[in-house]
Structure 1
């Protein structure tokens, strides 16, 4: 069987299994590139696969994704009895070194883009910058995925997660539904179905400028979420990541947040440790100071009303 026929069969298998379209494109693209270097995919050996994957110009993350595609292809070929031995079975695991978090789109850029965008573009921006959706998840989103303020998102590897919509995103989606109806996708294509993920990117990119992307808006959602609850596992579930290591790349932690850890963990917070170190006792806040302030404030505002004045606290 020719390489083209094999790849077509493999694509049909992935499609029949309900794999995400973006995942299918990734797998087929990786195997197609492999086929360009080997005329007979079914005759390839483990040594040849190792040599192919050892390309020195590949980044670890790219090598890992390609290895995953090759493993899946040859597992399928072996399962369907097109080969007697799986040459990818013993391929070594690919380690991807940790890297610092990538920058998130700044608030002023997001707000400026939101102000300049149409209703459709604002919805895309909110789904990325607030709800943390990938552009493929946005492109394929249908009104039937929303029940009240709950949104059901089909992510990578066909994993579904349920998110609770904030009031602004919910309001914008409802407006889209009123304008377009609930039968078509939120972002319908010109000839039926939904728009391509690249179109979603293009619509919003014009308002974000050259430096920032829609995916950087997703990182903005991750960073804001982590700063709100400090729970990286909740952020992982929110973004639909299989590994918390991936989530860590999305979350930007400020220097102040790192510095706060030392202060929170300090033995100097205990009277005994300060005594041993020869330091004076740490001054404790007066538990009655807040109540005293409120009483004084009430007294001042009450006296002001007697003279016809109103005091407003900003």
Structure 2
């Protein structure tokens, strides 16, 4: 059985499009079709249903997908046994939450590219709730998430960053003049919040519910930058990671509201599939981040 045929099968199963699979693998569409046809002939079964121009993975294809991925991973691991002295190279596909993509990850990627210039890095920004599925479908190699993914048995996770969240408002907001703000003073305030799946928004809503507080959510935005711009011009209050608003606070564009008895933090995690082969590029990133974390802990202590 040809490894290339299995890789083509996995890619078509992921994209459900022969042309796009060819572009990703740098094959012609006819070569992709030949690979799938040869694999189906060798196995004696169809793996896809073709309805007009649409392609669907059939039941036999679904049975093959996990085994095919394991064979590909085993093949990479075997190659890795005999390439230990070579420069680290290849592809590293990263998924990350917006906060981490913009405010935490760039200096790490800069250091990584300096040390490992032969590794091609791709970064995909997405919702944290999507990362376990993306890892299980082999769409990314590793993710940096703000969600606790321990409920997924197939996910390994490493704590990488802890940060506080802060309530922010425009400098001329009436609450800014108060030194300490009781949580009940948030009643009926206008809020601009991230999307409902956001972990710190969930904690905020639970806190407000516990205290019987109703707020006016006038906007729900997926972009941190859009939220900050709306808060700046006085459309409402928001709760955001401190790392994401520190620059605006320092410049006086946003002001912190100190709310009593409200301590909501974020804990970022590096997550990857337990069954996935840890490639040299991924292992290098993992070691770099763990080393940096130990150095930071040593400075604090």
TM-score (norm 1): 0.26
Structure with max Cα Rg:
1
Query: Whose helix proportion is higher, 1 or 2?
Result: 1
By relative contact order (CA 8 Å, sep 6+), the higher-ranking structure is: 2
Query: Whose strand proportion is higher, 1 or 2?
Result: 2
